[in-house]
Amino acid sequence: MNFFSKIKSIFFNAGNDLKKNDKAADSINGCTGTVNYFNHSRGYGFINSKAFDRRVFLHISDLEERVSKGQKVKFVVEKTSKGLRAKNVEIASA
């Protein structure tokens, strides 16, 4: 199973083996992407990742250090009621 199939099965499959309140089923570790936008005064931004067909929301409370547009980051994706959210965001080493 390739990476995209794994993501699709986690987020879009309502299979019997996934419990509705299971946090492990609602997150994916080891994602990478590029900061598309971040406004430090407002405290939020977005990350583009090739693994997803949409932007991933980023809140300032999930940052380890200051980020800027175009910076490569590593993060965990969590599915929320409003969409995908990046958690535990770290700057990717070059």
Q: Give yes or no for residue 13 having a pLDDT over 60.
A: no
1-11: average pLDDT: 57
Given this model, what pLDDT does residue 10 score?
A: 54
Given this model, what pLDDT does residue 93 score?
A: 76
Count CB neighbours of 94 within 10 A. Answer: 4
pLDDT (tens digit per residue) in 33-83: 999 999 999 999 999 998 888 899 999 999 988 999 999 999 999 999 999
What does the block give as tokens for 68?
A: 């800027």
CB of 76 within 8 A of CB of 29? yes
Q: pTM of the prediction?
A: 0.68
Highest mean pLDDT (candidates 3-7, 15-19, 26-30, 89-93):
89-93
Long-range interactions of 78-83: CB distance < 8 A, separation 24+: 78/26, 78/27, 79/11, 79/26, 79/27, 82/57, 83/54, 83/57
Given this model, what pLDDT does residue 9 score?
A: 58
Q: Give yes or no for residue 18 having a pLDDT over 70.
A: no
The H or E element that residue 44 is part of is: strand 44-48
